[in-house]
Structure 1
Amino acid sequence: MKKIGLLSYHFWYNYGTCLQAYALQYVLKKMGYQSEYIDFGWKYPIASETLIENFWTYTNTDTNLFRTLKTNLYKYAGAIINRNLYSTLFRDFIYKTNNKLFDKFHNQFIIESPHVKDLNNIEKKYALFIVGSDQVWNPSCCEKKYFTHFLLDFVKEKKKKISYAPSVGMKDIDAKAKELFKLYLPQFQSLSCREEFGCSLLRKITELEITRVIDPTLLMTREEWLSIAENKKVHPYVLCYILGDKTKIVEKSLQIAKKYSLDLKIISMSQMIIEKYKKYIISNVGPREFLFLLNKSSCILTDSFHGTAFAINFNIPFYSFLKKHGDSSVSDNSRIIDLLDLFHLSCRFKDSINFSDNFSCDFKETNKILSCEREKSFNFLKHNIDQIL
């Protein structure tokens, strides 16, 4: 059987990133195609929080003993000075326990190629290449030399290149990134993007046809997701899944939990959140546990794109907030607004905590839209893959 080579951030210790990678591979298998993620050795550069790393110029991405020691020295010295050593150690414990479960999930569910030393030598191995999803086309997420790999710079045959739901992540990008898009995107057989603002931006830059498709996590039904989720009995709870540092989101979660006599569970790696709300922070949460926690929650409050996407897919009452301070034009804030607009759920977006909570959320129209968008996205994949295979 002909094989499809996939490129994404499938290796990140991030719930949405990991699960979108699984979802695309699952859907391709369901459609009758064989695929694997290409391991070309790049890992997201984890930098000390006390140092500023410029992703466009950063060169030392290899993890080594000296760099690890230096990073830990800065981190723990800073923790002692700032009197938050306990929360720093607790945060490291959460990383360690969660990441073990990520590794277990990755080994069990993600099909990956052997390590590739030179991408220029693999074109003949695959019948076609698909890049996406997640923010693989966001130039602030990785260095330029790796960013172009996610534009499939190593594939010479145009007919072998497809993008599925990559996200640019922001409403505007710098001149360098625009030139790269102008250079590489015309070499694709077919192009798609996850957000409408991303489609518009790329159309303007390249004057090419860009199809909007949904995130791979939304291609799978709730039932399909729950078939791999953890399962156990729990007391009713409010789930706060937060990627940023906005304590007001946690405060609102706590208000709702107390009002309805529910427990509160927080998934966060923010030093500030862990320091202030440590008794509500949960650990030992890998991708399967994450799916379980989403499904069993009475209500979800989140600043995460994928947290919002799963709440919609699972029909769980939710409220979404911006991750970064500022309006939707700041950084990757616009992704959630775009998603809610698509599913006619803009009312679930909140820019403050001064609102009357209401668990009632009518998903009838949303489910109809999701069904239609699934069909359109499935058709995009099948049509363009079958044209090549």
Structure 2
Amino acid sequence: MKRIGILTFQRAINYGAALQMYALQKKIRDLGANAEIIDFICPYIFDGYKPFHLRNIIHPRALMGDILNFSIRKSRNKHFHDFIRDNMRFSQPVDTESLSILSDAYDIYITGSDQVWNPLITGSESAYFLDFVKDKNKRRSYAASFGVSEWPPSSLPVTKLLESMDSISVREEAGKKLIQSLTSRTASVTVDVDPVFLLEKNSWLSMIRKDRTKKPYLFIYLVGGGNPDDMYRTASKLAQEQHLDIINLRYNRSLRHKEYEIGNVVYDAGPDDFVSFIANASCVVTNSFHATAFSIIFHKDMYVSMPDKVGSRISNLFSITGIEGRVIGKPFKEIDWEKTDQKIMEARQVSISHLKKIIGE
């Protein structure tokens, strides 16, 4: 049985990051390989998920936010850690200095999915390009994302790193174009679906918790960017018109915008709660790629605000699934779910075929 090492944002307290990691490892294991997550501790990324930051002592407003949100961050972190412990298989913990210990540990190394090639997130950490792997033929990616349309000149030079990859799979067409602009690469670069679409709906249903709410509800989830005022106005209007309660998933209590804390506010949900909230909702209001993705998987009416700078991810998803008219502020169209499911199935089959080649099956 082949041993596959996956390098991704394995400790991120982020719903999309955790769920795409779960899906990619599960699908590779379903294909008959022994997949393991490389437990790479990158301080640039993971310091941001600590419940309290000493650097904020000199910033009064940030310090107040840390104090106000300490208990909910600690509780949410525990829920994430429990989910990861119960569902994932990890290597020994390694950092930048000790990562070379794992340079020959696997038959194939895969970086991705998620924005593992976004220098603004990783701090230009070269490990996410698998430079620590001795054998270049073992360096591969699946649905890796840059999260930027142009490579910042001040960031890590990546031309040679990309050209040293044995095979490259990205998540968006924009990523493929960026690679072509940065390299003289002639080998194919495939564009594949986010790992959450590698699993069929029934696989996700096993994760769903029974709906404990007494009334039908609207689920709202906001990440950075987009237009929060429009989103919360839309959610309030829809809930009133359709006689729905509101479940409002937020990362932090707000010092400034109490008007955003509408409905039943939840701060410390785990990844399985996130999937369950969407699966059990009557409709979803969001600017999140993965909340949109799971709304599609579970056939939910969605009202989407395009986030600043990274809205192309959702636009690309709508293009793949043939969905139109679900953006807040634009004419609304009903979704032909039968057509959408067919498109997802076709895209899934193509991407699983690519994944089989990546792991050498």
TM-score, scaled relative to structure 1: 0.83
Which of 213, 217, 220 aligns to 1:240? It is 220
Q: 1:206 to 1:164 in 2, by over 3 A?
A: same
- Determine whether 1:183 maps to 2:157: no
Q: 1:272 to 1:203 in 2, by over 3 A?
A: farther
Gapped runs of 5+ residues in structure 1? 49-62, 325-330
* Aligned position for 2:316: 338
* Aligned position for 1:224: 203
Q: C-alpha distance in 2, partners of 1:17/1:240?
A: 19
Q: C-alpha distance in 2, partners of 1:47/1:13?
A: 9
Q: C-alpha distance in 1, partners of 2:326/2:171?
A: 20
Alignment check: 8 A CA contact 2:149 2:174 kept: yes
List, as ranges, runs of 4+ consecutive aligned residues in structure 1 with deviation greater than 4 Å.
45-48, 87-90, 355-358
User: Which SS does the other structure have where 2:292 is aligned?
Assistant: helix
Identity rate of aligned residues, in percent?
29
Count of matched residue pairs: 351
Alignment check: 8 A CA contact 2:295 2:301 kept: yes
Q: CA RMSD in A?
A: 2.5
Q: C-alpha distance in 1, partners of 2:202/2:279?
A: 11
What are the superposed Cα offsets for residues 175-213 of structure 1, whole Å, 9 maximum, x if unpaired? 245831x11111112111001111111122223321000
Q: C-alpha distance in 1, partners of 2:195/2:201?
A: 13
Q: C-alpha distance in 2, partners of 1:221/1:296?
A: 17
- Determine whether 1:249 maps to 2:231: yes
Alignment check: 8 A CA contact 1:256 1:357 kept: no
Alignment check: 8 A CA contact 1:91 1:274 kept: no
Q: 1:45 to 1:98 in 2, by over 3 A?
A: closer
Letter of the 1:121 partner, please give it: I
* Aligned position for 2:115: 135
Gapped runs of 5+ residues in structure 2? none
Of 314-323 and 273-282, the range deviating more from structure 2? 273-282
* Aligned position for 1:375: 349
User: Which SS does the other structure have where 1:347 is aligned?
Assistant: coil
Alignment check: 8 A CA contact 2:208 2:279 kept: no
* Aligned position for 2:289: 305
Letter of the 2:235 partner, please give it: S
Which of 103, 106, 109 aligns to 1:123? It is 103
Q: CA deviation at 1:342?
A: 1.8
Letter of the 1:258 partner, please give it: Q
User: Which SS does the other structure have where 1:346 is aligned?
Assistant: coil
User: Which SS does the other structure have where 1:108 is aligned?
Assistant: helix
Q: 1:204 to 1:69 in 2, by over 3 A?
A: closer
- Determine whether 1:264 maps to 2:243: no
* Aligned position for 2:34: 34
Q: CA deviation at 1:361?
A: 2.7
What are the superposed Cα offsets for residues 52-71 of structure 1, whole Å, 9 maximum, x if unpaired? xxxxxxxxxxx7x9x83442
Alignment check: 8 A CA contact 1:136 1:168 kept: yes
**1:75-224 → structure 2 map (5 Å cutoff):** 77-78=60-61, 91-117=69-95, 118-144=98-124, 147-177=125-155, 179-180=157-158, 182-208=159-185, 209-224=188-203
Q: C-alpha distance in 1, partners of 2:269/2:113?
A: 23
Q: C-alpha distance in 1, partners of 2:66/2:197?
A: 35
Which of 283, 289, 294 aligns to 2:278? It is 294
User: Which SS does the other structure have where 2:203 is aligned?
Assistant: helix
Letter of the 1:183 partner, please give it: K
User: Which SS does the other structure have where 1:130 is aligned?
Assistant: strand
Alignment check: 8 A CA contact 1:340 1:349 kept: no
Q: 1:30 to 1:273 in 2, by over 3 A?
A: farther
What are the superposed Cα offsets for residues 120-167 of structure 1, whole Å, 9 maximum, x if unpaired? 2322211110000000011111222xx210000111212111100011
Letter of the 2:10 partner, please give it: H
What are the superposed Cα offsets for residues 27-71 of structure 1, whole Å, 9 maximum, x if unpaired? 0111011011111321415459xxxxxxxxxxxxxx7x9x83442
Q: C-alpha distance in 1, partners of 2:245/2:297?
A: 23
